[in-house]
Amino acid sequence: RLSDSVLCTHAIPDNDRFPIYDHRLAYPKLKALSDSLSSPMHILCGHGHNPTFHAFPNLTVHSIGSVGCMDEGAPGIAPYVIAEIEGEDFSLRPYYVGYDTKRLVPLFLSSGIRDSCPIMARIGLTQMMHNCDLIVGFVSEAANLSKARGETHISQQAWEEADRRFRWP
């Protein structure tokens, strides 16, 4: 919490995984939150890959997006936002930085992530190369496979099966 009226969260205060980027789901939840507030609040959050804005009478939400891999964005462009905060006042400055996707591959692969977590490395690299969100769909696939097996957590076997079944770009 930056102040009584400015809150920084990953998604929204009571749900770190809330799909803030899905207006159909976000609108009713955020409207109810706005209606429950006794004074105006401004939430700065991320979680979604595209910058998103919601405004209600007592609530303003800026979802600043994700560095790299905007959904349906342009490959080789990493958006980010710098929040400049002074007391109750703040401003958001969006930036877009280009990167060479051809140089990215060897750098990413030499980082060691492929050896320690090959499936996450594949997800991350594919997202950066195609500038699309794959993690939500992939983890949902793995979670559904685990649930069908009666597992309470995603097992290594479900993770690997999801990798085989997933529709990679």
Residue 15: what pLDDT? 82
Write out pLDDT tens, residues 66-103.
Answer: 665 555 566 777 777 787 777 767 788 887 778 787 88
> Tokens representing 63?
């979802």
Closest CA to 132 of 93, 81, 76: 76
CA distances from residue 37 to 4, 5, 32, 53 in whole angstroms, order as listed:
12, 11, 9, 18
What's the rounded mean pLDDT across residues 1-13?
77
Of residues 155 and 88, more confidently modeled:
155
Predicted TM-score (pTM) of the model is: 0.62
Whether residue 164 has pLDDT greater than 90:
yes
> Cα(59)–Cα(38) distance, rounded to whole angstroms?
10
What's the rounded mean pLDDT across residues 26-44?
91
Residue 35: what pLDDT? 95
> Cα(22)–Cα(162) distance, rounded to whole angstroms?
24
Residue 70: what pLDDT? 58
What's the rounded mean pLDDT across residues 110-123?
88
pLDDT above 90 covers what percent of the chain?
A: 30
> Cα(95)–Cα(33) distance, rounded to whole angstroms?
30
Q: What are the backbone angles phi and psi of residue 44, rounded to the nearest 5°?
A: -110, 120
Computed over its alpha carbons, how large is the radius of gyration of the chain?
A: 18
Model confidence band, residue 44 (pLDDT cutoffs 50, 70, 90): confident
Q: 44 by DSSP, 3-state: which?
A: strand
Of residues 94 and 40, more confidently modeled:
40
Write out pLDDT tens, residues 117-153.
Answer: 899 889 888 887 777 778 878 988 999 999 999 999 9
What's the rounded mean pLDDT across residues 4-28?
83
CA distances from residue 133 to 29, 40, 60, 153 in whole angstroms, order as listed:
23, 32, 25, 22
> Rounded to the nearest 5 degrees, what angle is found at the Cα of 135, between the Cα atoms of 143 and 71?
140
